[in-house]
Amino acid sequence: MTDRVINFMGARKIAAAFSIGLVLLSIGSLAVRGLNFGLDFTGGTLVEVVYEQAEPLSNVRSALAEAGYADAVVVNFGADTDVLVRLPQGLSPDLGEQILGILQQSAGSEAELRRIEFVGPQVGEELREQGGLAILLALVVVLIYISMRFQLKFAFGAVVALGHDVIIVLGIFSLLRLDFDLTVLGALLAVIGYSLNDTIVVSDRIRENFRKLRKQPSVDVINVSLSETLGRTMVTSLTTLLVLLALLLTGGEMIRGFAQALTVGIVVGTYSSIYVAANFMLLLGIRQEDLMIPEKEGEPIDDMP
């Protein structure tokens, strides 16, 4: 047993109210505001233009707005001279040349059309459906896996924690109107994997301590288990966050959404591994009898303190 046991579950009612509030706020935002889907999901045209000298993005946006492309999304793509323009319009034969002409007229240097791509709305709709199915399938697989490895109450706790993480990440993207594209969807699946790994480590220690500390109340066993795994959880989360911070600062616009979603997901996932999963297990009445190894007939029972 660890020398210092932190009473995590003493604040379980406050944590439950906090989690429920965040989930309800996220669901409300998703219902009212929805997600700010990128071109991967809505369809549209992507134009990449390279300047000889760096051009302020505000000038590029102003030039496009004056030409009738007020809905264009303009970002740097890697270098300051590389500009990516996302348009909700469909691809026309001369759209790329039109955009290039507008930008060359407004710029003080020459510009070159690097590429132009089109995503149809039908493809975007299929991506949304398949992305949602991928997340649901991941949760079902997690439920089955943890039920087989641990116990059904552990499985429900893990799935509730993962659903909690996904909903809050989606809610933050909805509230802040951040772009939601395929890289963010990939980050959501990565959040599920990361949070699941942390939850399994905690669940494994809880199961072990339930078998060792047979006379202790369930709340005390969970507090001991969380205290023993806290160091590992915090070190893993902090080192991962350092990498994500580097991606946010230097990774460029194309992976910014991926880094943002993972950053939020890791913070929320660390919290849910400590409070949501264990809290839900207590709500379901987890106890030593659920995890006892069946004793063979005639074999003495080892009753450890």
The pLDDT assigned to 120 comes to 67
Are 282 and 222 a contacting pair, CB within 8 Å? yes
How would you class 224 by CB atoms within 10 Å of its CB: exposed for 0-12, middle for 13-18, buried for 19 or more?
Answer: buried
pLDDT in tens, 123-164: 566 777 777 788 788 888 878 887 777 777 888 888 888 889
So what's the pLDDT on residue 29? 93
Structure tokens, 259: 């880094």
Quickly state the pLDDT bin for 281 (edges 50, 70, 90). confident
Tokens of 128: 């949304």
3-state secondary structure of 84: strand
Which range, 46-50, 173-177, 183-187, has the best average confidence (pLDDT)? 173-177
pLDDT value at residue 36: 84
